[in-house]
Chain A
């Protein structure tokens, strides 16, 4: 976390050219006098160490700086956009983990059958596709050709039904994407675990195939997937950003896209900081969950 803050602090100061010019952007006209005034206001005329301390202080108060393009504090803009993205990405991550674990467990249980081979190949293909391209395919097929789903936005009128109808397609794309990655790991994990002694013992006890899988193997085999889900959180989240751009959803993704086009650096940095914070939180949650699932970790024996 400290590293991330440091990167965020260092980047604009390492940039070629005048940081104030970068902050304001190229489309604004300023006189040298105004420039000096802004520089004094932001505190760029002070020594670097003082700047760093005041930067940290601002962060602790939840102040992420000021976006000169959207004329508002970065924290406020981000906060209003983020809730939608979190809703959309969160649903997909949870669904993707569940589908990935179950489908991966089934295809790892009998890896030679034609169906599980087909599922594995499909998962590999999906995980090798850039998320935005997958989203475009879905959009072109389901929304343009079949007209089943609306092509853009979160809702027409703010009712639960309308939101679900609008979000179904993007969530489906992202879920597919997350599930395919989890599936591959889960499959490998089950293939390994099913040769272990306790699986053999469960069979000797008289349990049938699927019972062994779901009662005994699933819990152990899903441990690596939980780590993956946490580490992948940032990756899936960035996938969500691209999918938002394709579906014209008014969330973080479109915000970042516009910020790139407008070269709105404070906003970009704020967005990065928030995403990094989310990822770190996700990893902490995963560690706790790991402890709950695996008593060996809980007792600190490993």
Chain B
């Protein structure tokens, strides 16, 4: 019982943290003390005017931090959504129809599983020229395979149940059965995977923008760490420059992943109770 309480409290903490980041992403102009293009003296230490100092371009670091939440969360959730969509489609098709189609799809999934993601993303991003849309597409198109596997194995179970059998006897088309009978029964395994995919995508986004492959028009957290690293903030020990964005990445990913894990563990207990 104590373990359950602890789980709930960490879950609540993660939710609260995520809510803060969502607010930052939704209304940056209300929270941030300066606009994204306002400039002042560069390389300032933290002070009353600039709580976290300024960058080499004279931008206020706190404001940049708040505006950076948007791109991180957008890339994370959008690409996870795409990945979940592809994963659901592939997993459902393979699990429901079985046979040769299943074999082909799963072989393809294994290939995607084995391809090293980050190097491929680096190449693709380098070739395709950075941009938020491209980033979301690439990250989404490369991270669906674990979702597809889970969905398939769950679909294999659900398709043998009575209500799916009777729906098939009544002559409903496969698409209809998948949408109204199977998906509602597997959504609880997809949800934690969705959160974990979001967390992974946010880390990938941060890594890519650290390499300078993010969207050049938007200053994300990874890009902030990168510019602190390449433009002298790190060597001069200007911790107020590189520490906050890095901590923000970690906390944001952690909150999303913690919610995902909590879903997963909650799922585990209900199954055992049944």
Give Cα distance in the complex from A246 to B23, angstroms.
Answer: 32
Q: Identify which of A83-91, A198-206, A218-226, A231-239 touches chain B.
A: A231-239
Contact A231 B229 (CB under 8 A): no
- The yes or no answer to A79 lying at the interface (CB within 8 A) is no
Contacts of B116 in A (CB 8 A): 233-235, 237-238, 272, 275-276, 279
Q: Nearest CB to that of A246 among chain B residues?
A: B229
- The yes or no answer to A283 lying at the interface (CB within 8 A) is yes
Contacts of B249 in A (CB 8 A): 129-130, 133
- The yes or no answer to A7 lying at the interface (CB within 8 A) is yes
- The yes or no answer to A29 lying at the interface (CB within 8 A) is no
Q: Identify which of A55-63, A93-101, A263-271 touches chain B.
A: A263-271
Contacts of B261 in A (CB 8 A): 124
Q: Nearest CB to that of A12 among chain B residues?
A: B127
Contact B207 A132 (CB under 8 A): yes
Tell me how far the C-beta of A267 lies from the nearest C-beta in chain B, rounded to whole angstroms. 11
Give Cα distance in the complex from A299 to B147, angstroms.
Answer: 30
Give Cα distance in the complex from A6 to B119, angstroms.
Answer: 16
Give Cα distance in the complex from A241 to B213, angstroms.
Answer: 15
Contact B253 A128 (CB under 8 A): yes
Contact B203 A128 (CB under 8 A): yes
Contact A268 B122 (CB under 8 A): yes
Tell me how far the C-beta of A106 lies from the nearest C-beta in chain B, rounded to whole angstroms. 18
Contacts of A265 in B (CB 8 A): 126-127
Q: Provided the pairs A140-B237, A140-B239, A272-B123 are in contact, do residues A234 and B210 lie with their beta carbons within 8 angstroms? A: no
Which residue of B203, B211, B253, B257 has the most chain A CB atoms within 10 A of its CB atom? B211
Contact B122 A124 (CB under 8 A): no
- The yes or no answer to B246 lying at the interface (CB within 8 A) is yes
Tell me how far the C-beta of B72 lies from the nearest C-beta in chain A, rounded to whole angstroms. 11
- Of residues 226 through 277 on chain A, the ones whose CB sits less than 8 Å from some CB of chain B are 231, 233-235, 237-238, 241-242, 245-246, 256-257, 260-261, 263, 265, 268-269, 271-272, 275-276
Contact B114 A280 (CB under 8 A): yes
- The yes or no answer to A136 lying at the interface (CB within 8 A) is yes
- The yes or no answer to B263 lying at the interface (CB within 8 A) is no
Size band of the interface chain B makes with A: 35 or more
Which residue of B199, B250, B257 has the most chain A CB atoms within 10 A of its CB atom? B250
- The yes or no answer to B3 lying at the interface (CB within 8 A) is yes
Give Cα distance in the complex from A250 to B225, angstroms.
Answer: 21
- The yes or no answer to B222 lying at the interface (CB within 8 A) is yes
Q: Which of A242, A256, A283 contacts B114 (CB 8 A)?
A: A283
- The yes or no answer to B43 lying at the interface (CB within 8 A) is no
Tell me how far the C-beta of A3 lies from the nearest C-beta in chain B, rounded to whole angstroms. 5
- Of residues 137 through 153 on chain A, the ones whose CB sits less than 8 Å from some CB of chain B are 137, 140, 144
Contacts of A246 in B (CB 8 A): 229
Q: Which residues of B contact A (CB under 8 A)?
A: 2-3, 6, 111, 113-120, 122-124, 126-127, 199, 203, 206-207, 210-213, 222, 225, 229, 234, 237, 239, 242, 246, 249-250, 253-254, 257-258, 261
- 22 example contacts (A-B, Cβ-Cβ < 8 A) are as follows A3-B115, A11-B123, A12-B127, A111-B3, A117-B6, A128-B257, A130-B203, A130-B210, A133-B225, A133-B249, A136-B229, A136-B234, A234-B115, A234-B117, A238-B118, A242-B207, A263-B126, A268-B122, A268-B126, A272-B119, A272-B122, A283-B114
What are the 4 tightest A-B residue pairs by CB atom distance, in nearest-first order?
A234-B116, A238-B118, A133-B246, A128-B253
